[in-house]
Amino acid sequence: MKVKSVSSVLLFLGIVLLLGCQVEQQGTVQERVIREAPSADGDAPGTTPPDGQGKVIFAVTDAAADLGAVTSVQITVDEVQVHTATGNWITASSEPKKFDLLRLKEDAKFAFLAGADLDPGKYNQIRLEVSDAVVVDSEGSHEAKLPSGELKFNGVINVEEGKTSTATFDFIVGESLHLTGKGTYIFAPVIKLETKEFTEVEITADETVSIKGGRLNSRLEVGMDETGKVGPGVKIPAKAELNIESGLVRIKGKFYSETDVQGGSAIDGKGRIVVGITDKAASMGSVTSIKVTVDSVQAHSAAKGWVTVSSQPKTFDLLKLDAEGKTELFADTSIDTGTYQQLRLAISKAVVVDAEGEHDAKLPSGDIRIVGNLKVDEESTSTALFDFKADGSLHMAGNGKFILAPIIKLETREDAEVATKQSGGIAITGGSVKTLVEVGMDEEGNVGEGIKIPANVDLEIEGGKVKIKARAGVSVGV
């Protein structure tokens, strides 16, 4: 079965931030689903937040044109997160909800997705986890292949006390829905994001959300390619010949290296994975300690999405690890077998100790994602070793504040041997090295190979963000 053309479908995901009079706790999530009818005076139900908290409301709609033979496009949103300017991800909703985009088009409405409370401030990223997409046509229901279930957007949401802000996500299905030569659907979203502040919002008893007015903060379009990469100008070309190989979407005739792969097929059974943290930095003069708190490690595959390897926070003194030549154990657990092509570290805190005492170091971002091949086999041990380069990661602003923009070398192995050393820590030997890559972080929190904060630039922390001040001989875009 083939469809000659796919028209545009628009999905709006509205994020409405309603804030109280005081700020006490960051990112408190409200699990209650709003179902009350409007009050007599017309105020939106449940939109008045409790003292010291603000509310975020998520809504979905579709304003699409007809899709011909396609009668339904259903997506399931598992999780919504927002990212603070200080580098933390806050879960706004972890309750899965399914939406029929074409039904929303017929009803011409926003449908309520979730509600959460947030503190006032600036949020600079939004992340959606989409677990599934189903297309219904004249031949029945078909699972659409998602190159990746994670959609991440760089857009500013300003949350003002007592005010309402929104973010709308316009899914352009005409550019998102594709077919392989065998008639299998592929859903690689192309989305327009628009954020506003000072909007008006009403919610009715049937969970219809009405959003009015506001001042524009951000407007951008991002897409997803066949490997699951998301960003501006990224998408699967309309005329590309597609197929699915070993669970991965591929463009016919295009070459893919191992690091291009964004996920693998999981097979039955479990395999052991060991995660280690080390540092081989040089001496740093008056700095005697750099303590980094890692909250969690996750691995990503197309088949499983993000899998949590460990969510038990641990603090590591990088310079002590270097001085003792030690690799410290972060996690030793079992996960589903298969091939994982991304690893993610969540770092919540960095503390530097020098001759003057302890100092909190500013992290441009606490979310570090590294593309690397991690193969987990049944009854075998795989390892992931994160080697922090503290001497290249630590910087100082003009006012003496420390900044930690991590540079990390990742090594993954399969069929490795792990032993506990008498002197403490672990030793990883043997096996086959699958990935050996070094990534860094710039002042905006971007992570990747060849990225880092240059050593010869002037830094400042302004509005909670790290910025580079241009100076003679240095050309820097801030």
**DSSP code, position 259:** G
Looking at the fold, whether 338 and 245 belong to one and the same domain comes out as: no
Tokens of residue 291, six digits: 């303590």
Cα angle 464, 470, 475 (rounded to 5 degrees) comes to 125
Q: Tens digits of per-residue pLDDT, 106-140?
A: 777 777 777 777 888 888 888 889 989 999 988 89
Q: Is the dihedral of CA 241, 245, 250, 253 positive or negative?
A: negative
Q: Kindly report the number of other CB atoms within 10 A of residue 212's CB atom.
A: 10
d(CA 410, CA 388): 9
Q: Tens digits of per-residue pLDDT, 221-253?
A: 999 999 888 888 889 998 889 988 878 899 887
Q: Which residue has the higher pLDDT, 207 or 433?
A: 433
Looking at the fold, whether 98 and 72 belong to one and the same domain comes out as: yes
CA 149 to chain centre: 10
| Global pTM value | 0.48
In a domain, 145, yes or no: yes
In a domain, 187, yes or no: yes
Looking at the fold, whether 282 and 243 belong to one and the same domain comes out as: no
In a domain, 207, yes or no: yes
Looking at the fold, whether 322 and 216 belong to one and the same domain comes out as: no
Q: Which residue has the higher pLDDT, 310 or 12?
A: 310
d(CA 464, CA 366): 14
Q: How confident is the model at residue 58 (pLDDT cuts 50, 70, 90)?
A: low
pLDDT value, residue 285: 65
Looking at the fold, whether 330 and 428 belong to one and the same domain comes out as: yes
In a domain, 265, yes or no: no
Mean pLDDT of 160-174: 81
Q: Up-side HSE of residue 120: CA atoms within 13 Å toward CB?
A: 14
Give the DSSP H or E segment for 324: helix 318-324
Looking at the fold, whether 252 and 276 belong to one and the same domain comes out as: no
**DSSP code, position 431:** S
Mean pLDDT of 328-357: 90
Looking at the fold, whether 326 and 205 belong to one and the same domain comes out as: no
Looking at the fold, whether 330 and 455 belong to one and the same domain comes out as: yes
Q: Are 200 and 211 spatial neighbours (Cβ–Cβ below 8 Å)?
A: yes
pLDDT value, residue 56: 60
Select from 221, 256, 291 the last residue of a domain: 256
Looking at the fold, whether 355 and 323 belong to one and the same domain comes out as: yes
CA 34 to chain centre: 27
In a domain, 224, yes or no: yes
Q: Which of 19-28, 223-232, 410-419, 426-435 has the lowest mean pLDDT?
A: 19-28
User: What is the span of the domain harbouring residue 455?
Assistant: 270-469
d(CA 102, CA 171): 12
Q: Kind of pairing, strands 289-301 and 328-336?
A: unpaired
Q: Are 346 and 362 spatial neighbours (Cβ–Cβ below 8 Å)?
A: no
Mean pLDDT of 193-214: 83
Q: How confident is the model at residue 476 (pLDDT cuts 50, 70, 90)?
A: very low
Looking at the fold, whether 158 and 245 belong to one and the same domain comes out as: yes
In a domain, 474, yes or no: no
Average pLDDT score, the chain? 77
**Per the structure, how many domains does the chain have?**
2
List Cα–Cα distances, 83 to 76, 80, 128, 252, in angstroms. 21, 10, 12, 37
Looking at the fold, whether 192 and 282 belong to one and the same domain comes out as: no
Q: Tens digits of per-residue pLDDT, 12-30?
A: 333 333 322 222 333 333 3
Select from 223, 256, 289 the last residue of a domain: 256
pLDDT value, residue 209: 76
Select from 202, 226, 256 the last residue of a domain: 256
Looking at the fold, whether 426 and 454 belong to one and the same domain comes out as: yes
Q: Kindly report the number of other CB atoms within 10 A of residue 238's CB atom.
A: 9
